[in-house]
Amino acid sequence: MNRYMSRHLENRFAAHQDLDDTVGARDGGFRTVVDLALDKYLEEQPGSKAIRSMDAEFKRFAVSQMKVFILAGHDTTSATLYYIFYSLSRNPLALQRVRAEHDEVFGSDLTQTNATITANPHSLNQLPFTLAVIKETLRLFSAASSTREGELGFSLTQDGHQYPTEGFTV
């Protein structure tokens, strides 16, 4: 895995070298978190345009972070999607409401959904019922979680309400 990641990093580094500028659109505007890391790395190097290779410490750190992103992001997301479909299959009324909400926001022609979201990514924020389904699924079938211990004098604030945390483990 380290070898594979290093190769990917080297390829992206080479692609950055081919461009005059470290920022701006490339590959049709599709830029990954690796590109963002390389932008920052090059920005921080004195005389970055003359740099032909990455230093070993940066490479080691970047590869390690890439692994975290893949491992932390992949199974959590896919397992959550399975549980969402499972939950909806057991709650036909909720499924109906999700579909109605999607039809309302994206239209009923599925072939146009990608284009609609690309043209207006903020439309994804207009799906309160879908969001509730995702949150309820995460509550019932959390793919990953961590323990937080409450603390005397420490409160959580939401919608103007304060919720004390002492006595709680969440």
What CA–CA distances, in Å, run from 157 to 60, 154, 163?
Answer: 39, 10, 6
Check residue 37 for interaction with ligand HEM (CB under 6 A): no
Q: How far is the CB of 51 from ligand HEM (least distance, A)?
A: 27
Check residue 36 for interaction with ligand HEM (CB under 6 A): no
User: x/- contact string, 76-95, with ligand HEM (CB under 6 A)?
Assistant: xx--x---------------
22 near 16, Cβ under 8 Å?
yes
56-90 vs 2-17: helix crossing angle, rounded to 10: 110
Check residue 68 for interaction with ligand HEM (CB under 6 A): yes
Q: Which residues contact 138 (CB under 8 A, 6 or more apart)?
A: 80
Q: Which residue is nearest to ligand HEM (CB)?
A: 73
From 136, 137, 129, 131, select the one nearest 101 (Cα to Cα): 129
From 70, 74, 95, select the one nearest 85 (Cα to Cα): 95
Pick 117 or 138: Cβ nearer ligand HEM: 138
Pick 49 or 148: Cβ nearer ligand HEM: 148
Q: How far is the CB of 106 from ligand HEM (least distance, A)?
A: 22
Q: Which two tokens stand for residue 112?
A: 């146009």
Check residue 56 for interaction with ligand HEM (CB under 6 A): no
Check residue 143 for interaction with ligand HEM (CB under 6 A): yes
Which member of 1, 36, 72, 115 binds ligand HEM (CB under 6 A)? 72
Q: How far is the CB of 66 from ligand HEM (least distance, A)?
A: 10
Judged on CB neighbours under 10 Å (0-12, 13-18, 19+), 137 is buried
Binding site for ligand HEM (CB under 6 A): 68-69, 72-73, 76-77, 80, 138, 143-146
